[in-house]
Amino acid sequence: MSEDCSHNCESCGETCSERKKESLLAKTHELSHIKKVIGVVSGKGGVGKSLVASLLAVLAQRDGYKTAILDADITGPSIPRAFGLHGKAGSSKLGLYPVKTKTGIAVMSLNLLTEHETDPVIWRGPLIAGTVKQFWTEVIWGDVDYMFIDMPPGTGDVSLTVYQSIPVDGVIIVASPQELVGMIVEKAVNMARMLHIPVLGLVENMSFVNCPDCGKEYYVFGESHIDAIAKKFNVKTVAKLPIDPRFSAACDAGMIELFEGTWLDEMIKKLKSEEK
């Protein structure tokens, strides 16, 4: 700060510690009251990010929390299928309404707005990012304790829009065991850190398979690197999901809310601890 500073930043072109950064955060709909926003991210596609977002929402809902999922993966939405949602989102002069799952989880996805589920989304980045922002500002979510955002893979336009426009309280990063993916995970961690978003946990999907005869764990994609990455970035909470055909069967049947398993219990405990 200059000795001649007038403390009037509007008329000054200098950059200093006194200058306040303009907030890019967008306001939710006036009828939406969302307490916590958790992003579920991955450095690349095909690692099970949407599965993890769905499972976390189911577990939070089972614990008595009002839960929602904002499907920000506009070009590859899969959340509605996992929950067996085939209807269309409603609307009124007030705004859009999310579709509720069988257990009451509120969901908004582009697949709930297009005429046919298989219609491709051939849009450029700014339009996709703008749609995600509209899901935050124009959807009437009501009272929500936990909103999980199923992010698109990578570190591009949409991820940046979410981080800058939505008050994300933390992210959970999903990976698969391959070392290359481990490197990509570091990119996702670094992006969150650069934008001052806390990394709450790491989930390694397809970590192992249990032998149906002896119960022994086999690491078919090689040795796990997720613990080393967690240690490197001082991330305390790590979960490992097995290769289990019941996951894909439940998603294909739209019955993910019936899943049983304790693999993500510690992750849910971590989210609860952040409330204190």
In a domain, 18, yes or no: no
In a domain, 162, yes or no: yes
Tens-digit pLDDT profile for residues 228-263: 889 999 999 999 999 988 898 999 999 999 999 999
What average pLDDT does this structure show over 83-94? 92
* Domain containing residue 162: CATH number: 3.40.50.300
Cross-strand partners of 40: 150, 172
In a domain, 85, yes or no: yes
Give the relative orientation of helices 179-194 and 157-165 as an angle to the nearest 10 degrees: 40
Phi, psi of 15 (to 5 degrees): -105, 120
In a domain, 230, yes or no: yes
In a domain, 100, yes or no: yes
Q: Say whether 153 sits in a helix, a strand or coil.
A: coil
| C-alpha distances out from residue 8 to 1, 12, 13, 23, Å | 12, 7, 10, 18
In a domain, 207, yes or no: yes
Cross-strand partners of 148: 38, 69
Six-digit token string for 56: 């976390």
Averaged confidence pLDDT in the chain: 88
User: What residues make up the domain containing 166?
Assistant: 33-270
Q: Which amino acid is at 180?
A: L
Candidate ranges 8-17, 33-42, 119-128, 188-197; pick with highest mean pLDDT:
33-42
Among 33-42, 73-82, 137-146, the minimum mean pLDDT is found in 73-82
Burial class (CB in 10 A: 0-12, 13-18, 19+), 170: middle
Number of independent structural domains in the chain: 1
Tens-digit pLDDT profile for residues 16-35: 655 445 578 999 999 999 99
| Beta-strand relationship, 217-218 and 209-210 | antiparallel
Q: How far apart are CA 99 and CA 213, in angstroms?
A: 41
Tens-digit pLDDT profile for residues 176-200: 888 667 788 888 999 999 999 999 9
Among 35-39, 101-105, 207-211, 212-216, the minimum mean pLDDT is found in 212-216
User: Which H or E run contains 145?
Assistant: strand 143-150
User: Which H or E run contains 79?
Assistant: helix 79-82
Q: Say whether 224 sits in a helix, a strand or coil.
A: coil
Q: How far apart are CA 173 and CA 119, in angstroms?
A: 29
> To which residue do tokens 């032998």 refer?
211
In a domain, 23, yes or no: no
Q: How far apart are CA 1 and CA 187, in angstroms?
A: 34
In a domain, 174, yes or no: yes
Cross-strand partners of 106: 68, 100
Q: How far apart are CA 130 and CA 133, in angstroms?
A: 5
Burial class (CB in 10 A: 0-12, 13-18, 19+), 28: buried
